[in-house]
A and B are shown apart, each in its own frame.
Chain A
Amino acid sequence: MTQHVSPPRDGTGKTAPAGELPAWRGLMGRTDVRTLSLLGVLAALVVIGGVTKPDEFLDTRNLQLVLTQASVIGVVTVGMTFVITSGGIDLSVGAIVALASVWATTVATQEYGFAGILFTAVIVGVGCGLVNGLLIAYGGMVPFIATLAMLASARGLALQITDGRTQIVTVDGILDLGERDSYVLGVPPLVLVFAAVTIAGWLVLNRTTFGRRTVAVGGNAEAARLAGIDVRRQRLYLYLLSGLCCGIAAFLLIVLSGSGQNTNGNLYELDAIAAAIIGGTLLSGGRGTITGSVLGVLIFTTITNIFALNNLQSDVQQIAKGAIIVAAVLVQRRTASTT
C-alpha cells in the first residue's frame, strides 16, 4: 500500500509544524519496515536451514511438518492478537486447548463421530472464553488474574477428565484428515484451516467495526467509552473469540496427534504472546497486526525445526527464543522512541 502525502496546505498558519511530517511518515513506513524485517528474518532462517541441513530442511515433508506445527499455535495466536490489541491478555489459552482436546476425545464424545468431536472442542473453547470474558468485562477482574485462574482450573479439569491417560481417537474421519491422502495440492488440511483463520482474522481486525472497536478499546479505553463504544461488551466478545480460536486449535491438535491429552497446549500462552509481540502487536494495546503475529509464529516454528534437525536440544532453543524476543522488543522500542 502506498501512501501519498500532500504537503500541508497552509491556509490558516495553524497546520502541524513542518518538522512533524517526517515523524508520521516514519510511523506509516515503520509498519512496512517491521513486516519486511520479519520476512527477512524468516528468509535468513530458511537459508540457515538450507545450508546446515540442505537435504532434510528443504524436503517437502519437512516443510509440510513445519507448517502443520505452526498451524495449532498459529490459530491460538490469532485470537491472542485480538486480545492483546484490546489491551488485555489471555494466559489461559494453553489450558483451554488442553481441556477442549480431552473433552472432545472422551469415549462418550467419540460416539458422536467427527461432528461431535469438532463441536465439543469448539463449544468448550467458547465456554471457557465466555467465563473469562464475563469475569473481566462485567466482574471487573484484571485479565491477568482472571485468565490465570482459568489456566489453573481448566488444566485441573483436563487432568480430572483423563486421569492422566492419553485418549486415543478411533474416529476414522479425524484420523483420515491427518493422512497424506487428504492433502490438497500438497497442503495439509490443518494448514488450510490455519490460513483460513489468518485471513478471517486479518479481515475482522482491519475491515470490520469489531476490529475498529478492538483497536479503540486498546488504544484508549476511556476515550472509547466516551465515544459511545460499549467497552465491556467488546471485551466479552474478545475473550469469546480467543476461546473460539483455542477450540479450533484443540481440534487441529486432535487431528495432528490422533489423541487428546491433558498435557496438550503446554506453555502455548507464552508462545502466542511472544509471537504476537515480536510481530509488532503492542502489549499495551491499541495496535495489532495479524500478519506480524503469523510471521512471528512461523519464525519460532522454523527455529525449533532447524534446531531439531541439527540435534540441538530444547534448552538451546529456549535460549534462542528468549534472545529473539528481547532483540525484537528492543528494536521496536528504538524505532518508537525516534519519533
Chain B
Amino acid sequence: MASPPSLLSMSGITKSFPGVRALDGVDLDVQAGEVHCLLGQNGAGKSTLIKVLAGAHQPDTGTIRWRGEEVVLRSPIAAMRLGIATIYQELDLVEHLSVAENVHLGHEPTAAGFVVRRRTAKASTAALLKRLGHPEIDPGRLVGDLSAAQQQIVSMARALSHDVRLIVMDEPSAALDPDEVDNLFRIVGDLTADGVAVVYISHRLEEIRRIGDRVTVLKDGRAVAGGLPAKTTPTREVVSLMTGRTMEYVFPERPAAPPTGTPVLQVRGLARDGEFAPLDLEVHAGEIVGLAGLVGSGRSEILETVYGARKPTAGQVLVEGRPLRPGSVRAAVRAGVGLAPEERKAQALLMLESVTRNVSVSSLSRFSRAGWIDRGAERAAARAATRELSLRPDNPSVPVRTLSGGNQQKAVLARWLLRGCRVLLLDEPTRGVDVGARAELYAVVRRLADEGLAVLLVSSEVPEVLGLADRVLVLREGSVVHTAPAGELDEHRVLDLVMEGSPAS
C-alpha cells in the first residue's frame, strides 16, 4: 500500500443475513479530504456497508483499517470515538428535544459531571450552525418544529460536534430543495478543505459529478469498481457497472396479445400533495402494470392511496367502473382490491398467528355464520389457497413467522386469492425474498394475472419491473416521466429516466 496510508481502508467485507448475502467481499478506500461517492441500485449493499462503517453492523469477515491501523468497530460509539459520523436518510433526532440538546445528545457539556451546562451547549451549537450556513436556526427550538432540511442541518451539526474525520451521508439531498442542495455542497466543500473525508451516497449522477472525487460502484453485494474518477467516467460506463448482472432472473412469458376491453382498475387524476402528482392509469384483467422509480419517487404512496390506506387530495379510483370511497381500505377490499405491502411483517402479517389465520383474516365472514367460525371450512379454504401457490411447508397450521420471506409473501397473496380479489397491488413483492425463490414468485404473479387478475406492481428493482410487467410507468419525484410497453424499455434507459429525469441519449 502506498504511503501515507488511506484514512479508511475496508477490505473483503462480507455480511450475511438469514437468506441474504448483503455484502460479498467489498473493498472501500477513502482518502482524507476527498468526497467518495457510493453508487448502486437498491439492494446493492450500500446501506449495509455504511452500517458496518458506523459500527451498527458487525461484518462476518474482512478487515477495517483506520489511518493504517486495523480496528474493530464494535458499536456506534466506537466508530464515533475514531471520528466516523453517519447521517442517515431517516434522521435519528429526538423530536421533543431542542436543537442544542440533540446536537449534544450523549456528550453533553457538564459541570461536576452531571449538571448540563445549557448555556455552553447552546453557544457551541450556535457556532456549529453558523459554520453550516444556518445561523437562523435557534438552538433552543424543538427539533420537531423544524423543516426536513433544517433537521438535516441539525443532524450534520451533531456529527460535527464530535472531532470528526469522516462523515457518511446517506442520500442527503433527497429531501432538499435545489438551493438547499447548493448549501449542502458548500458545506461538503468546507469540510473537505479541512481534511475531513465525506462518503456520499446518492442516486443522482449529476450531483456526483459536481462534488465527487472518486466513485465506488456496488452491485449485488460486491464492489464492481473502486475509486473511479467521479468527474470523467462516462455515464454509460457507470450505468452498465450498476446494471451488468451476474444473476439472471427467470421471468414467465407474457401473453401474446395485450389484454383489451374495460379496464378493471382505473385511476383518474389521483394525487396527494407533496407525495405524487395527478396520476392516470388503467389496468385490464390479465395485465400487469409496473411502476418503476427510486425510493422517494412516490411509488409506495401511490399504491397505498389506490388502496385507500392514504386519503387522496384529488382524483378517484374506479374498480370495474364503480368509484371507490376515497381513503377507505374497507371500500377497496369490498370492491375486490388486495394489497401486498412493502413492509410485509409490519403491514400485512400477524406474526404470532398461523398461516391459516393469516390467510383467512380478510375473508372471515365466508367461514362464519352469525360470527361463529367454521374452522374446518376455514382450514380447507386456506389449504386450498396456499396449495395453489405451492406455499411451503405444505402445512398451513405452522406459525407464519417460521416461513421464509418468499413463502410469507405467498401467504399474503393467498389471503387475497381466498378473498377472490380482482385487483392485486404488489409493493416490492420480492423484498426480503431469496434470489432463488424470486422466479417462483414471478411465475405465481403471472399465473394470477392469466387467471384474470389486474396487477399493479411497484418495485425499485428495474429488471423486476421490466421482466414481469406488460406495461411500465417510469416515475421520478412523484411524476410519471415515461410510459411504454415493457418490451420497448431496457434497464439502461429506465435508469437514465429515473436519474436524469428526461429521456436521455
- Interface 1/0 per residue, A196-234 and B, CB below 8 Å: 000000000001111011011001101111111110000
Q: Is the CB of A222 within 8 A of B346?
A: yes
Q: Is the CB of A208 within 8 A of B372?
A: yes
In the complex, besides A10-B392, A17-B18, A220-B349, 13 extra interface pairs with C-beta distance below 8 angstroms are A11-B390, A12-B392, A14-B434, A14-B440, A15-B407, A24-B399, A208-B368, A208-B371, A215-B353, A219-B353, A227-B333, A230-B330, A286-B350
The one of A3, A27, A207, A228 that contacts B330, using a Cβ cutoff of 8 Å: A228
Q: Does B257 have its Cβ within 8 Å of any Cβ on chain A?
A: no
A125 to B307, CA, bound (A): 38
Q: Is the CB of B397 within 8 A of A3?
A: yes
- Interface 1/0 per residue, B346-374 and A, CB below 8 Å: 11111111000100011011001001110
A212 and B357 in contact (CB under 8 A), knowing A15-B393, A220-B346, A226-B341? yes
Closest CB in chain A relative to B402 CB, distance in Å: 5
Interface centre among A11, A20, A23 (most CB of B within 10 A): A20
Which residues in chain B, 439-482, are within 8 Å of chain A measured between CB atoms? 440
Q: Is the CB of B364 within 8 A of A209?
A: yes
Q: Is the CB of B309 within 8 A of A287?
A: no
Tell me which residues across on chain B come within 8 A of A224, comparing CB atoms.
350, 361
Interface centre among A9, A11, A16, A27 (most CB of B within 10 A): A16
Considering only CB atoms and an 8 Å cut-off, how many residues of chain A contact the other chain? Answer: 39
Q: Does B415 have its Cβ within 8 Å of any Cβ on chain A?
A: yes
Tell me which residues across on chain B come within 8 A of A15, comparing CB atoms.
392-393, 404, 407
A286 and B352 in contact (CB under 8 A), knowing A16-B402, A210-B371, A226-B329? yes
Which residues in chain B, 315-347, are within 8 Å of chain A measured between CB atoms? 329-330, 333-334, 339, 341, 346-347
A16 and B403 in contact (CB under 8 A), knowing A3-B397, A226-B309, A230-B330? yes
A222 to B362, CA, bound (A): 13
Instruction: Write the chain B residue with the least CB distance to A203.
Output: B372
Q: Does A185 have its Cβ within 8 Å of any Cβ on chain B?
A: no
Tell me which residues across on chain B come within 8 A of A5, comparing CB atoms.
395, 398
Q: Is the CB of A225 within 8 A of B402?
A: no
Closest CB in chain B relative to A24 CB, distance in Å: 5
Q: Is the CB of A226 within 8 A of B393?
A: no
Q: Does B406 have its Cβ within 8 Å of any Cβ on chain A?
A: yes
The one of B329, B393, B397, B403 that contacts A228, using a Cβ cutoff of 8 Å: B329
**5 nearest interchain CB pairs?**
A228-B333, A8-B393, A219-B350, A209-B364, A15-B392
A215 to B18, CA, bound (A): 28
Instruction: Write the chain A residue with the least CB distance to B394.
Output: A9
A225 to B329, CA, bound (A): 7
Tell me which residues across on chain B come within 8 A of A14, comparing CB atoms.
392, 404, 406-407, 434, 436-437, 440
Partner-A contacts on B (CB < 8 A): 18, 307, 309, 329-330, 333-334, 339, 341, 346-353, 357, 361-362, 364-365, 368, 371-373, 375, 390, 392-395, 397-399, 402-404, 406-407, 415, 434, 436-437, 440
Closest CB in chain B relative to A29 CB, distance in Å: 12
Q: Is the CB of A219 within 8 A of B364?
A: no
Tell me which residues across on chain A come within 8 A of B440, comparing CB atoms.
12, 14
The one of A12, A208, A229 that contacts B373, using a Cβ cutoff of 8 Å: A208
Tell me which residues across on chain B come within 8 A of A17, comparing CB atoms.
18, 404
- Interface 1/0 per residue, A147-163 and B, CB below 8 Å: 00000000000000000
Q: Is the CB of B307 within 8 A of A216?
A: no
Q: Is the CB of B361 within 8 A of A16?
A: no
Q: Is the CB of B407 within 8 A of A209?
A: no
Q: Is the CB of A223 within 8 A of B372?
A: no
Closest CB in chain B relative to A242 CB, distance in Å: 18
The one of B334, B339, B352, B373 that contacts A287, using a Cβ cutoff of 8 Å: B352
Closest CB in chain B relative to A295 CB, distance in Å: 21
Tell me which residues across on chain A come within 8 A of B352, comparing CB atoms.
215, 219, 286-287
Tell me which residues across on chain B come within 8 A of A219, comparing CB atoms.
350-353
